[in-house]
Structure 1
């Protein structure tokens, strides 16, 4: 990192004269090689001349001289961003990362152009990285991205950010969205409960019918590297999500007895993940184990234990295949419901097209086993996703369509076994618009439109939902 790119571009007002000729003659003269002319003796030097001498000193490998000259500039103007930038560069070369970071922050604070802010933020990020403060380094690299003056510098900053993230032991992600929805409680589409076309149960209460409103979700995850070598890595993992619901005025009138808090949920889990490279074709094997709890309506509902194995490899440069096996145990239910053991198998393929667009297909099958017949189920699912590489104007586009079929062979209504069991069929379509050109600190707003529809031979589980969610995503 040099000070050259951070030099002030402001128009020079009346040239300030600095009485530092003696300093220049005493320090600069002996430092130049035979091919580098020494400065002409003078009683006074202009600001531009001093800056030129500083750059020559840095190019000649004399940061001590550049630092003395920069201090002279700061004595004349304590807010000179160029001088602060020089000091940060000199201190960085000397290995004084703490003072280099402080000087670069001052350069950032007093910067007068985007380029100055960009370069100063990069120096702060580099100083943080030297002290292995990679999380703060990533924050400053995001500030550098925000001030990047051109597309090439943005691309370079993204690469540097990824390098910091890769080196960091601690990685975390935050997400949030606000979702206006026609069905915040996953209620039935019809008020009459019908089984196999026969209204055998009667009218559903308002709280079991679809209620409109807004869903707010905030989630986060972290991983902390415990071990890494040339072929493997082990990380501590954590994840959490909070979901809260607000009813619309229409929903409050429809179900005045319903409590919004009853439809909120919270989930948290801790675990371990191990990844190992198996060589050829980009093969990567992973193993996961985690333990967590789920709260519904403000009270603990049940515990979760889960684990999984996966293996992915490149069939060719444009096609990656992955297979995974997952197991989950839902136990210690607060309502005394029997444990549920779920085993799942999934295959996925991601294909990159010639124009760098990507298509992804996933196929899955899960089986839930329990002493509770209401929870025994088999599910088969498929999902097709598309992501467009190039934006359409200011908008990046991705879309997906999914289907699933679930059978509950032993499902009962009160004391009556549903003939043939309960059968649910779900269709989901989703389109996401990302406004990457509106990003701030590397985060851009997103708009997701989702339509879900479930058909069931037990009408209580027939649902329809249309939602529009507003969120943020990282652009790198």
Structure 2
């Protein structure tokens, strides 16, 4: 991930961070000169020479942060990934500035990525970006993160949100209603009216790449989501006996997705199959299965088109009706400059419910 120029810059920073002796004795090399020699040896692929130089530096001062970073790189280049991570971690613990933390984080990320631990490497690259002493170094750490992320079989995302909701039960905004045009107003119960509260939404999704080549990728995805509610004092007074947990909603699903690009094709095509379960109010609500397929075409360098078809079946539980749905979609997207895009699309949906069919 770190090229020759960056390595030499790292060596310069390491030399600046390390303690300097007050005076060189005779013709002996100073620690600064040893660090520069070690960095040059690493850049030239001579990890053995670099190890000898960094070991000499660490024998002189075990807390030499710059030497530890170079030592970690030399160990990594020689295939000693676990000791490289140990050296980088020690450099991190000794670091006192953002520049030192940035370099130690990069060294740790390199050791972990080289040993196949790409998820942990991404964590350390986030640290490197956070502590980068210059915008350019931060940008490079972000590029390294994306490079590792693209090659990581595992990818996980977490989401958390908290916010007020004025109608968590999808109730009426009015206190009364009329039925069949009768000239009478019927008063709605408190729980039939809109109830306000606070929503806590939690989500996690993880992807494992089963296979990948230049022409295709196949992923297995798992998603879990939960929304829980707490009623306001006003809502509890309006609907005694009703709890926020009565409206909690959860879902769990697994998806197998495949995307490919045929030789000579202007765009990719793919399909996905999903199986999932939902819960409402703590009780099983619905089983669902979904099949989808899509195709993309490049009409010009700035214009693309796409089409998709989705078939979904839902098996109701606890009195919920079964249903089926077919969705067709197509569209055209054009880049119009300034990072903006213009999209024109058409969507058609046909659905059938067992209750409606009776």
Q: Which has the higher contact order (CA 8 A, sep 6+)?
A: 1
Separation in 2 of the partners of 1:339 and 1:370? 6
The TM-score normalised by the length of structure 2 is 0.88
| Residue 277 (structure 1) aligned with residue 284 (structure 2) | no
Aligned match of 1:7: 14
Separation in 2 of the partners of 1:200 and 1:312? 56
Aligned match of 1:356: 339
The TM-score normalised by the length of structure 1 is 0.67
Gaps of 5+ in 2: none
Q: 2:56 aligns with which of 72, 79, 82?
A: 72
Q: 2:311 aligns with which of 327, 331, 356?
A: 327
Residue 210 of structure 1: SS of its match in structure 2? coil
Separation in 2 of the partners of 1:182 and 1:171? 35
Q: What are the within-5 Å matches in structure 2 for residues 384-395 of structure 1?
A: none
Could you say which structure has the higher helix fraction?
2
Residue 372 of structure 1: SS of its match in structure 2? helix
Separation in 1 of the partners of 2:152 and 2:40? 36
Aligned match of 2:249: 265
| Residue 304 (structure 1) aligned with residue 258 (structure 2) | no
Aligned match of 2:27: 41
Aligned match of 1:126: 110
Pairwise CA distance, 1:369: 0.5
Q: What are the within-5 Å matches in structure 2 for residues 231-270 of structure 1?
A: 231-270=215-254
Q: 1:223 aligns with which of 196, 204, 207?
A: 207
Pairwise CA distance, 1:315: 2.6
Larger deviation, residues 54-63 vs 115-124: 54-63
- Deviation digits for residues 368-421 of structure 1, max 9, x if unmatched? 212202xx7xxxxxxxxxxxxxxxxxxxxxxxxxxxxxxxxx9xxxxxxxxxxx
Separation in 2 of the partners of 1:59 and 1:225? 33
Separation in 2 of the partners of 1:371 and 1:215? 32
- Deviation digits for residues 116-158 of structure 1, max 9, x if unmatched? 3223222222222222221112111111111222222233222
Q: What are the within-5 Å matches in structure 2 for residues 48-447 of structure 1?
A: 48-55=32-39, 57-58=41-42, 62-194=46-178, 202-279=186-263, 282-331=266-315, 333-373=316-356
CA contact (8 A) 1:170 1:222 kept: yes
Equivalenced residue count is 351
Pairwise CA distance, 1:16: 7.6
Deviating beyond 3 angstroms after TM superposition, the runs of 4 or more aligned structure 1 residues are 10-14, 45-66, 194-201, 278-282, 348-351, 358-363
Aligned CA distance change for structure 1 residues 131 and 56 (closer, same or farther; 3 Å): closer
- Deviation digits for residues 346-377 of structure 1, max 9, x if unmatched? 2344433311133445442222212202xx7x
